Structure 1
């Protein structure tokens, strides 16, 4: 997925001059968000660019199955005597799911004359790379949720999807989500407006959600599970959105992020910046690359609440006097 804009060659000299002479602050970009999802997901380093997810096989028709449809392990509880013990084994899927790392790339062009002359206060190249990396990370978080192959919205099986009862997200709806991901739920994920809509409904019922502090910021919680905001869970034209509930971690059989660490020019795990050379016009090029994906270890590691309306507001009537 190439993000570079070929219609623009490089940073203009006028813009660089203004930054170098008129300010003492680094450039600001309004699209940058805290990206809490990236921070909360445990990341697993992938060798060879492919992550193979092995699961227990589903039981064939007519054979005993667990409540989740998996091959049933034959067990016997012994209280006395010496009965004949059952023989059993756990069967695996013949073809494990393979997650291939996706790539976000772009090329940053900077004119050497501009970076040389106008880097007295602000390092022009460093700022160009920093802001580009921020844009790459924003795109990555969007893809983790919305990618057609591994996006978390698409990875939720039908049995783990529910609808709001009345359109607005109520405490009952979030309780229902918790019954689907009851094994060590880590966090809800929702658009800020969806979280505000839930807050209104909870307050209306007289149970305003308590607050917890993570990463130095306050988050409202429900049943002790924080509601994490992200603008990557979009709101449609009808004012409807989705709320996700995740269990996180490879050891917990939850949702994990995948990345390729140790690549050349690595700025941080899975993200590299490589110098590509300078052309005959004095324009230096740097390739920014991020290798990533996401995986849902088991079907019950994630659930989604659909038809979440964010447009409804209560009108409160207060007694006079």
Structure 2
């Protein structure tokens, strides 16, 4: 009988841990860091051919009007001639990938997969980690993350630090064409709830996907703990319009890849080495695109630490 020290340690689940899962309980492993990841659910996703998504835009003239038109009330004036011109250098989004190699010892998966399928659970938890990283990158990636692609004209600061109904109204002014949802850290949403309640306008709630969300002006505030809070207790709140037809924000992915378990996410068997360790390549191809500057706005300098005394 071979021993564990005959193959590289720390590369796969240990037999002792697998026995605990198989024999001591019939519940799957619980991981407290898994979140609902509402952003992924609420974004419309576009399948990208060739790994590149090009955003073509109409070229704006100095007057701001791209097409020459004439309103005629009487007579026979000479009509203008026109055409729609496009930008010569459209923005291109290239899909990024999140990858890891999952190692499982065949002895572990063979012997300790009675109550719980060891390989299935290893894959499930690895996929959860990939999805958590994806949500973080959708928001914070330096090139395409939503926090970082907001145009300067679409960025404002709170009036007094705390997120008030007035501040959210200012965001709505910037994304007034079919705004879909606010996106904020749960602590920022709680701070807004305190400020709205103090002003006598407690925000109503709406139920989405079986969960309650508070709203403002009918727009839900969607929580994500991937929005950063700095050392001073400050964060940002986003307001998004979504969808291709609305010239909003869309998620990008590549569907139909080998080993796909859901669109854009694959688990591919890579083989078993001389130490009886089976390897699976876990890959997620993704990005996010902004189809118009007015599709997103950001409220900065949002303080989460203000509380009120009620007497």
Q: TM-score, normalised by structure 1?
A: 0.93
Structure 1: gaps spanning 5 or more residues: 1-5, 67-71
Give the equivalent residue in structure 2 for 1:129.
Answer: 123
Are 1:26 and 2:28 matched, yes or no? yes
Give the equivalent residue in structure 1 for 2:98.
Answer: 104
The match for 1:57 among 56, 59, 72 is 59
CA deviation after TM superposition for structure 1 residue 82, in Å:
2.1
Give the equivalent residue in structure 2 for 1:278.
Answer: 272
Are 1:238 and 2:196 matched, yes or no? no
1:86–1:294 distance in 2 versus 1, CA, 3 Å: same
Are 1:11 and 2:7 matched, yes or no? no
Write the distance in 2 (CA, Å) between the matches of 1:212 and 1:245: 17
Q: Matches of residues 142-161 of structure 1 in structure 2 within 5 Å? A: 142-161=136-155
Give the equivalent residue in structure 2 for 1:69.
Answer: none
The match for 1:172 among 162, 166, 175 is 166
The match for 1:250 among 233, 244, 247 is 244
Write the distance in 1 (CA, Å) between the matches of 2:51 and 2:279: 26
| 270-279 vs 74-83, which moves further | 74-83
Give the equivalent residue in structure 1 for 2:110.
Answer: 116
Write the distance in 1 (CA, Å) between the matches of 2:63 and 2:9: 62
Structure 2: gaps spanning 5 or more residues: 1-7
Give the equivalent residue in structure 2 for 1:221.
Answer: 215
Q: Deviations for 1:57-106, whole angstroms, at most 9, x for unmatched residues?
A: 233xxx4224xxxxx32111122222211111221110110000000000
Q: Secondary structure at the match of 1:228?
A: strand
CA deviation after TM superposition for structure 1 residue 7, in Å:
7.8
Write the distance in 2 (CA, Å) between the matches of 1:138 and 1:235: 17
1:7–1:89 distance in 2 versus 1, CA, 3 Å: farther
CA deviation after TM superposition for structure 1 residue 221, in Å:
0.2
Q: TM-score, normalised by structure 2?
A: 0.96
Write the distance in 1 (CA, Å) between the matches of 2:161 and 2:9: 44
CA deviation after TM superposition for structure 1 residue 30, in Å:
1.0
Write the distance in 2 (CA, Å) between the matches of 1:39 and 1:200: 27
The match for 1:85 among 79, 83, 86 is 79
Write the distance in 1 (CA, Å) between the matches of 2:297 and 2:14: 47
Number of aligned pairs? 304
